[in-house]
Structure 1
């Protein structure tokens, strides 16, 4: 789960140390009390009443579906004179051939930097900057997107430019080459950081190295991408029944609907985009090592498959996750970091993605000599989830943290609209968010114990260590047979290394 900030606990400690002595000194000035009486005095903050949480009923955006299949979401927000828009388009990196891995990122960049038939990407940059506006394109795992933002008076101009970029892109050779060079540079540097190596290799272990969710770009796969490929992908994906348009901000919904209909209703329905089915298998239990001789510490991970958000056990798994790794008070942090002192950084998550399994992981950064003890401690904490149900205090704290933080994911119309669009994109019901509060509140300690035993199987978890083998004592062989990972970078097909 997400790590909590160091600031709040530190601030609480400072306030307690500053204010409490003042209160006591005022009392002792008139009526001194024995030290024992002061020591047993009730903690006043425990008497502060905590009201129950209000019902969570996020505002529902207006949903419109055009005759050609394009879906529109509108949500008014008149607090500031801004209008933000997003066009979400089905098809992403998981849908490209393996020999063109890196395509989605290159497509997203080249699309924007090339501009259109009527305005170059560079001139578009200048025009947007003069209006304090933006138009951006991006490639993702399951989708590509075009976004824009502008002041209310400039909407018509910025929106017209965005539609022009959507419908009439001018993919240019020099911009493609620039995007390829930038990807090549990131490939050349991908082994610089030990933690990045560990995460990258952990994803491969969880999903399989050949999975579209784990593939990594290489010089050869980037070099395979041509302007013709970019245009063909654009023609295939940019059809109205393959897109969701979402607009939030300072506008009148009826007027905005008319503008969007005028722009998109003339488009002809195309062939719907379908992602290929991907099979997932649990990783083989193994100890995997990647050498990083220039460090004096180890990055260690234990990794396996997680679940999907549509899983009926999603709420119980969320509470389990919070008990296990949800911040400073979680088991893994308290035991491995605080009590045992085996790691300076510990975190974990039972991941839940929208339409495929997320990743279950726990990771730690530790001294080289603490590598094996730290891994054993992490394994023990994973095992304890199955044998030790959460205490009433752990359960209450986990549920409070989830519920109290949940609202901050949706504390603005922008966030609410983005989540509603994402749910619609993956086919989730419109009331999915509304059910979250009740779902978490119903979780019991027995539920957490049940899902831990159902979903966590230590014989289906893989271990990875990135570090300096010469400094790791005792040896990783104490954990079992060690498989050495090959993280060397295949050379460019034309023999030229990027700078």
Structure 2
């Protein structure tokens, strides 16, 4: 969501010219009126030529694949005397059992805080702090990871600690308990913020509440995770043919390759974790409401399925997205916020993920009394997207904005490295970035109109509203039948419902 900009008003100094009229003998003279000019104000900035963008050729990292299947990316960057590294491991929260949701999050925290069989996690903290270095583990949707950073001179020591943590973890019961308490604190407070509720419930409506991309931790699923589950997860996922190692910074690639080969080549291949097929179905046009009685505003989300980045229409959809909701000059912002004044915050996106459909959403934060009007305005903008192709000015502006923002996403060696790692992880060709600029430049107004009509179907969009029902006027049911969402938090096992 885009934040509100601060409006600064400049004062206008008014100068009043007083003309004194001197009476003349027997006559009355009239003050002469200043001549008005019809010449338009000069706009010299419009005469400044804007050259085309240079060819986009970011420096590509060196790619190495070991015999055991492990992939290495090396990106030299000698600007600063630092070396950063990541070990990306296949397997994330989408792969955890439905009765133990939260396992990967607990694993990602407990792994690091427990330390290794030779170095306690707390002692490791002190050793790293003395070197101004870091070593962290994390769990996410499709991966777990180990990340480290150090000064160039401390690389060997910090990397040795990283390999020790990777190969000899020592999961501890007290650290797992601490991770559980922190995760459960988040569960207890997940209904504190209205926008968080709206986002969470919107994702459920798009993907379905039991879909691995929409599931949420509960007290029961967190408590079901045991120490043995963390050990089993580690043994199942830490195999070289399911890992990518990426290192960037101030080093010589030949020397670094030799060090990494020595560290990883002896690891035997293993069986990759299997992600079961995940099915996606478009939501139905319906209105869902969650009560938040302590607010005087509403969060409105209109959501549906997006697309994948490997979709041939990805380029046209990117331009369509920019025309529709790409910034303060986009249609939805200009019409719903600026012209109609129905929302203090409005935006949207036609989401594209790497290996599953993203989410198409339009969002608005509005006063309770303008909830229905704002919802109608958002729906009207969606219909307009299908019936009114972008003008030449809209198209050119959108393409320029997409290309300029795209280039700044990869304006450093480390950013380019990270993107190449992601492309490799999800099986995209390494020249995917090279084709992007050309793909965007070829998009026409007709292309945008075509994909808008192909991928945006108002009958397959769910409407989620979070707000104070007593203050919403007119009522939401003027838009259609409303289903009330139950956002109550199930209590911990053995405790009564509050």
TM-score category of the 2 structures, normalised to the smaller one: over 0.9
Q: Which residue of 2 aligns with 1:383?
A: 383
The residue number in structure 2 matching 1:283 is 283
Provide Cα deviations, 1:49-83, integer angstroms capped at 9, x if missing partner. 11110010111111111111100000100010000
Query: Residues 150-209 of structure 1: CA distance to partner in whole angstroms, max 9, x if unpaired?
Result: 000000000000110011110000000000000100000000000000000000000000
What's the CA shift string for 1:24-73, capped at 9, x where partnerless?
Answer: xxxxxxxxx965356x1221111111111001011111111111110000
Alignment of 1:83-162 (within 5 A): 83-162=83-162
Q: 2:495 and 2:172 mapped to 1: Cα distance?
A: 25
Deviation >3 Å, runs of 4+: 2-7
Inter-partner Cα distance in structure 1 for 2:340 and 2:128? 54
Query: Does the 8 Å contact 2:423/2:430 carry over to 1?
Result: yes
Q: Per-residue deviation at 1:497?
A: 9.9
Structure 1 unaligned regions, length at least 5: 19-32
Separation in structure 2 between the aligned mates of residue 241 and residue 108 of structure 1, nearest angstrom: 20
SS in 2 for 1:233: helix
404-413 vs 330-339, which deviates more? 404-413
Between the aligned partners of 2:350 and 2:339, the Cα distance in structure 1 is 23
How much has 1:6 moved relative to structure 2? Answer: 3.8
1:230: which partner in 2? 230
In 2: Cα distance, 1:133 partner to 1:301 partner: 42
Query: 1:323 aligns to what?
Result: 323
Aligned position for 2:31: none
1:210-260 Cα distance to aligned partner (Å, 9 max, x none) = 100000000000000011000000000001001000000000001000100
Question: Does structure 2 retain, via aligned residues, the 8 Å contact 1:3–1:328?
Answer: no
**Cα offset, 1:274, TM superposition:** 2.6
Q: Distance in 2 between matches of 1:497 and 1:483?
A: 23
Distance 2:436 2:273 in 1: 30
> Which of the two has greater helix per residue?
1
- Residue aligned with 1:410, SS: coil
Question: Are 2:448 and 1:448 aligned?
Answer: yes
The 5 A counterparts of 1:9-408 are 36-37=37-38, 40-408=40-408
Contact 1:4 1:327 in 2 (8 A): no
Please give the secondary structure, in 1, of the residue aligned with 2:198.
helix
Judged with a 3 Å threshold, the aligned counterparts in structure 2 of structure 1 residues 348 and 71 are, in CA distance, closer, same or farther, namely same
The structure with the largest alpha-carbon Rg is 2
CA contact (8 A) 2:82 2:152 kept: yes
1:84-110 alpha-carbon deviations (Å, 9 max, x no partner) = 000000000000011111111111000
Q: Deviations over 1:96-145 (max 9, x none)?
A: 01111111111100001000011111111111111111001100100000
Asked if structure 1 preserves the Cα contact closer than 8 Å seen for 2:58 and 2:411, the reply is no
Say whether the 8 Å CA contact 1:88–1:245 is kept in structure 2. yes
Q: What SS class does the counterpart of residue 37 from structure 2 fall into?
A: helix
* CA contact 1:395–1:445 (8 Å) conserved in 2: yes
- Kindly report the root-mean-square deviation, in angstroms, between the aligned alpha carbons of the 2 structures: 1.8
SS at match of 1:36: coil
Q: Deviations over 1:332-388 (max 9, x none)?
A: 000000000000000100000000000000010000000000000000000101000
TM-score after normalising by structure 2: 0.93
Number of residue pairs matched by the alignment = 478
Secondary structure at 2:176 match in 1: helix
